[in-house]
Chains A and B, each alone.
Chain A
Amino acid sequence: MRNTRLFSLIRKEFIQILRDPRTLYITFAIPVIQLFLLGYTATTDVRNIPLAVFDLSRSPASRRLLDAYRAADYFNLAFDLDSEDEMRTLIDAGDARAGMIIPPDYAEKLLANETASVYFVLDGSDPNVASTSLAAAELIGQTHSTTLVIERLERRGLTGAFEPAVEVRSRVWYNPDMESAIFMVPAMIGIILQLLTSLLTATAIVRERERGTIEQLIVTPIRPWELIVGKITPYVALALFDMLEVLLVGTLWFGVPIRGSLGLLVALSGLFLLGSLGIGLMVSTFAKTQQEATMLTYFTMLPTIFLSGFFFPLAAMPPALQAVSHVIPLRYYLIIIRSILLKGAGAELLTNEIFALAIFGILVMGIAALRFRKRLD
């Protein structure tokens, strides 16, 4: 038998959504605007990192090393310095993000077949930039060093088709050009899903209380669970629509690949939404006004954004914060969506994340549903 009460609740909610410009704007415009803003501004592309060079050797050998760095476009050899102090000033000012010091005896040591050291200075204030530039610097250095070793061996008369035993080739998997959009769009989907559903659910419920419509609703025989489901369903639909909207823009505009199963992604997004909806429902049991609900929701978004690995790599965080990140559902969802979109991963590789999301969703939703009362007090 069809549940007329539930059906009417959902239809009523949809009518309200379609006639409320604010909700429509939040739902359909904000995600795309945010996507473009973040896709272009919050660039974590690690390319053309301004590099300050203090070359004390000033030899053909040191120039060869610098050419190797120049060839890979990770670095932009923007500054050629005459002192270490200058380097400090440039890095402090943020004009240079990394510095390289080539000692005076660089060429001599190489000639003497000794190990020559080069010093690399990093601005660690942006862990993303720091970690990639360090990796890039090491890779370029190693490659160059291998070339030099081969030359040494050749000079000793070991001619012939000599190939290096180990060739280190830097290659960043899944995101070959380190283009931020490819990494950011999936994350944006996660953020948008969570923010929209929790915000819209919370305000939609609180609005009934704020406008007094809850009073008429209370005296109807609607069951509390019907009220919850009726309130939530429209926003699940909107959220999934948003997801596809952002994904479409991400694919067509930013070239984000969809390597895995879209069906799996939608299903797991639904699982992730359970938690977000639970947060929204929970917020609605505390907030008295829509404004309070909005503030509370944004408040829950802060740890989500900072501790999910969205902006800052989890590995670069203090252990305490890393521990906290384990209860942030977005953390797991980011792994899931990036794995499905970028790596084409299937569910079997994501069991831990799926499990974590399920536990979080059921727990939050359960507690919120228990707190939810079909009463004024």
Chain B
Amino acid sequence: MPVMIQAQNLRRSFSGKPAVDGLSLSIEAGEIYALVGPDGAGKTTTLRLLCGALQPDDGQIHLAGIDLLRQTEHARAQIGYLPQRFSLYGELTVLENLRFFAEVRGLPSSDWVPRSEEILEFVGLAEFADRRAEALSGGMRQKLGLAAALVHQPNILLLDEPTGGVDPVTRQSFWQLLIRLLRQGVAVLISTPYMDEASRCNRVGFLQHGRMLVEGTPAEIVAHLQGRVLELVGRPRRLLEQLAAADPQVENAHSFGDRLHLRLAPASADAVMQRLTEAAREHAATIDHIRPVRPGLEDVFLDLLEGSHVA
């Protein structure tokens, strides 16, 4: 598969503070790649660099093999971009927005009408064609944004937190759309704060302070912590959390809903389970269950964040 997005050693700082710091990326056609990282990690800046909205201080960008810094407009013609903030015209209707972006993208008027209909059908906004964009719900806005980004049938999609503030049902249908695009061979780079979304991607990159902490398929990433995560459910939770944190071989305890995830030192699961069961009995706490689980991306992510914190 051809490499569609190729970035080498990207750097960009704002008033001396690096936002993207030596980042490299390579994404193939038909591949979906998730950029994950806390707020301020540099996800948006990365995507803006990749679409040429920001000028890098250093580094190379090739989109479908075209040098973005040299042949900017030609390279840009390859991409569809959905910014983190809604970036269409509120005063214009859904159809007017699409028409505008189709026309400035160079679609002749004989093409934009059928294309707009097709794409509105595709994202499920056909019945709202004449509604003003400002009157759309958050989820519909994101779909319209996606429609505008797709109107010229780009080979590359850059999506900045496309499902932020969107209800679960819409999120689901958004993903259906993405999967169909991937089948058509589009390369997708998505930034997301949701680990479940990241785990659906072909590859995931963890970003912090503008640097890539780790990169790989979800399975590869999770393998870092294989056998080192315990799930603990019981009452009182606060007390159990304190007991776990006091254990010398528990590196960290995090709540996920009503469950506690404990990250352990390597090869310590059995010993920790035994010690915690005893400690709970001594303190009259109830453990419903305690068992090793397959680590999630969240576990790895938190591990990495703390690790880099110490470093």
Chain A residues at the B interface, C-beta cutoff of 8 Å? 4-5, 7-9, 11-12, 15-16, 19-20, 211-223, 375-377
Chain A residue with the shortest CB-CB distance to B160: A215
Q: Are A16 and B104 in contact (CB under 8 A)?
A: no
Any A CB within 8 A of the CB of B105: yes
Residue contact A222 to B91, C-beta cutoff 8 Å: no
User: In whole angstroms, what is the CA distance A3 to B12 when docked?
Assistant: 35
A12–B79 CA distance with the chains assembled, in angstroms:
22
Contact between chains at B105 and A16 (CB < 8 Å)? no
Q: Decide: B92 and A220 in contact? CB cutoff 8 A.
A: no
Q: A12-B92, A221-B76 are in contact. Are A215 and B100 (CB under 8 A)?
A: no
Which residues in B have some Cβ–Cβ distance to A below 8 Å? 48, 51-55, 73, 76-77, 79-81, 83, 85-92, 96, 99-101, 103-106, 108-109, 145, 148-149
Bound-complex Cα distance A15 to B100 (A): 11
A61 and B59 alpha carbons, distance in the complex (Å)? 95
Q: Can you name the residue of chain B whose Cβ is closest to the Cβ of A373?
A: B55
Closest A residue to B145 by beta carbon equals A216
A219 in contact with B52 (CB, 8 Å) = yes
**A-B pairs, 5 with minimum CB distance:** A8-B103, A212-B85, A216-B87, A215-B83, A19-B91
In whole Å, how far is B54's beta carbon from the nearest beta carbon of chain A? 5
Q: Please give, as numbers and ranges, the residues of chain A lying within 8 Å of B83 by CB-CB distance.
A: 212, 215-216
CB of A213 within 8 A of CB of B92, answer no
Pick from B53, B86, B90, B99: contact of A219, CB under 8 Å: B53
Residues A4 and B108 in contact, CB atoms below 8 Å apart: yes
Q: Least Cβ distance of A224 to chain B in Å? A: 11
Given A12-B92, A376-B54, A377-B55, A213 and B77 contact (CB-CB distance below 8 Å): no
Nearest CB in chain B: distance from A361 CB, A: 27
From A216, which residue of chain B is reached at the shortest CB distance? B87
Q: Which residues of B contact A16 (CB under 8 A)?
A: 89, 91-92
| B87:A15 contact, CB within 8 angstroms | no
Bound form: Cα–Cα A180–B149 in Å: 57
- Cross-chain contact A376 with B53 (CB below 8 angstroms): yes
Task: Please give the distance in Å from A207's CB to the nearest CB on chain B.
Answer: 10
**Told that A4-B104, A12-B100, A216-B88 touch, could you supply 4 new A-B pairs with CB distance under 8 A?**
A5-B103, A215-B81, A216-B87, A221-B105
| Closest residue of A by beta carbon distance from B81 | A219
Measured in the bound complex, the distance between the Cα atoms of B55 and A375 in whole Å is 8
Query: Which residue of chain B has its CB nearest to the CB of A9?
Result: B104
Q: What are 6 contact pairs spanning A and B, CB under 8 A?
A: A4-B108, A8-B100, A9-B104, A12-B96, A213-B89, A216-B101
Distance, CA A217 to CA B88, complexed state (A) = 9
Which residues of the other chain, A, contact B76 by a CB distance below 8 angstroms?
219-221
Contact of A375 among B53, B88, B96 (CB under 8 A): B53
| C-alpha gap A221/B89 in the complex (Å) | 18
The answer on a CB contact under 8 Å between A215 and B108 is no
* Interface-central residue, B48, B53, B104, by most chain A CB under 10 Å: B104
Inter-chain contacts of A376 with B (CB < 8 A) = 48, 53-54
Q: How far is the CA of A213 from the CA of B133 in the complex (A)?
A: 12
Q: Are A218 and B104 in contact (CB under 8 A)?
A: no
Residue with the greatest number of chain B CB neighbours at <10 A, chosen from A20, A217, A220, A221 = A220
The CA-CA distance from A11 to B96 in the complex, in Å, is: 10
Quick check: A216 and B81 within 8 Å, CB to CB?
A: yes
Max chain B C-beta neighbours (<10 A), residue from A4, A5, A377: A4
Contact at B51–A12, with CB atoms within 8 Å? no
Chain B, residue nearest A20 (CB): B91
B48: chain A residues within 8 A (beta carbon): 215, 376
A221 touches B88 (CB 8 A): no
Interface contact B106-A221, CB-CB below 8 Å: yes
Q: How far is the CA of A215 from the CA of B53 in the complex (A)?
A: 7
In the assembly, what is the distance between CA of A17 and CA of B296, in Å? 51
Residue of chain A at shortest CB distance from B83: A215
Task: Please give, as numbers and ranges, the residues of chain B lying within 8 Å of A223 by CB-CB distance.
Answer: 73
Give min CB distance, B101 to chain A, whole Å: 7
Contacting residues, chain A, for B73 (C-beta < 8 A): 221, 223
Q: Chain B residues near A220: list those with CB within 8 A.
A: 76, 101, 104-105
